[in-house]
């Protein structure tokens, strides 16, 4: 199973646990006359809370690992997701402290619970919700391929060709570019067609007027931009030297 789908399933469980906690809390504190067995409901509420935090920690491990292997700045969506998750951690800690130690604040404990529930929906929506929509409920695997690739890339050495490989768009540059392409790009891009593997096939990429995905003009400069600050989900190759990028572009111009 893919890591994204796995995380999405964890998120669905988190949502269910949130609903259980909310329901038990409302039944215990919300009615003018309590109708339920409070001790039993308290136990369920507590168990759901601790299970929630356990799953939360597992999911956080995957998130942190993913940040580590991609070594990239977070996207606005991931930033929002991190802020919401961190808020939950703080609120949960506070709630625990209030119920255990600072009991004078006990009146506020339900507000903390409500805030945690509210933010949980934002947290899950901004990650699993997004993933399930764009991957057509987990059936489009290109996201996972990209995660797989990032994992693989993190195990490879950075940098590459020695310094003396000065750029000249001659046959040498083209064949150096081909080597780089085979090791870094062919996992996701076909060169013999325009069929999509993970990213679009790159046949004739510089002979067309527009780039296939962003629809920007098909120029070497825009290709270079794609490597440094990629449009869409492609990982960045900003660690390639200028010469290596020139070589790759020289190779792409032959397709």
227 binds ligand HEC (CB under 6 A): yes
Report yes or no: 198 and 188 within 8 Å, Cβ to Cβ: yes
187 binds ligand HEC (CB under 6 A): yes
Report yes or no: 198 and 142 within 8 Å, Cβ to Cβ: yes
Burial (CB < 10 A; 0-12, 13-18, 19+), residue 163, is: exposed
Of 5, 116, 223, 250, the one binding ligand HEC by CB under 6 A: 223
Total residues interacting with ligand HEC, rule: CB under 6 A: 27
Beta carbon of residue 182, minimum distance to ligand HEC (angstroms, whole number): 10
Report yes or no: 177 and 245 within 8 Å, Cβ to Cβ: no
Instruction: HSE, CB side, 13 Å, CA atoms: give it for residue 56.
Output: 25
Stretch in the footprint of ligand HEC (CB under 6 A) among 32-40, 101-109, 110-118, 205-213: 205-213
Check the CA dihedral 65-67-70-76 and report its sign: positive
130 binds ligand HEC (CB under 6 A): no
x/- site string to ligand HEC, residues 86 to 125, per CB under 6 A?
----------------------------------------
216 binds ligand HEC (CB under 6 A): yes
185 binds ligand HEC (CB under 6 A): yes
Instruction: Between 35 and 229, name the residue whose CB sits nearer to ligand HEC.
Output: 229
Of 84, 91, 188, 250, the one binding ligand HEC by CB under 6 A: 188
232/75 Cα distance (integer angstroms): 11
Beta carbon of residue 59, minimum distance to ligand HEC (angstroms, whole number): 23
25/42 Cα distance (integer angstroms): 8
Contacts of 224 (CB under 8 A, 6+ apart): 245, 249
Total Cβ atoms within 10 A of residue 177? 23
Beta carbon of residue 195, minimum distance to ligand HEC (angstroms, whole number): 13
Of 61, 108, 231, 239, the one binding ligand HEC by CB under 6 A: 231
Binding residues for ligand HEC, rule: CB under 6 A, are 146, 149, 184-185, 187-189, 198-200, 202, 205, 211-214, 216, 223, 226-227, 231-235, 237, 248
């Amino acid at each position: 199973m893919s890591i994204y789908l796995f995380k999405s399933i964890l998120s669905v469980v988190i949502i269910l646990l949130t609903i259980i906690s909310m329901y038990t809390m409302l039944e215990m504190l919300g009615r003018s006359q309590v109708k339920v067995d409070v001790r039993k409901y308290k136990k369920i509420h507590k168990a759901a809370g601790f299970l929630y935090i356990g799953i939360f920690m597992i999911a956080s491990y995957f998130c942190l690992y993913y940040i580590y292997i991609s070594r990239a700045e977070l996207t606005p969506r991931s930033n929002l997701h991190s802020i919401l998750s961190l808020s939950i951690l703080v609120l949960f800690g506070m709630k625990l402290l209030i119920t255990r130690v600072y009991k004078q604040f006990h009146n506020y404990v339900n507000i903390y619970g409500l805030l945690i529930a509210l933010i949980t929906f934002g947290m899950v929506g901004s990650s699993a919700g997004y993933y399930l929509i764009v991957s057509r409920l987990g059936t489009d695997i290109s996201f996972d391929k990209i995660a797989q690739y990032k994992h693989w890339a993190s195990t490879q050495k950075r940098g590459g060709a020695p310094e003396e490989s000065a750029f000249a768009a001659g046959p040498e540059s083209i064949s150096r570019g081909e080597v780089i392409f085979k090791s870094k790009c062919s996992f996701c891009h076909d060169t013999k067609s325009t069929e999509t593997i993970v990213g679009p096939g790159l046949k004739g990429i510089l002979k067309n007027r527009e780039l296939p995905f962003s629809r920007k003009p098909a120029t070497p400069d825009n290709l270079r931009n794609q490597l440094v600050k990629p449009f869409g989900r492609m990982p960045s190759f900003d660690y390639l030297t200028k010469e290596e990028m020139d070589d790759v572009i020289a190779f792409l111009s032959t397709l």
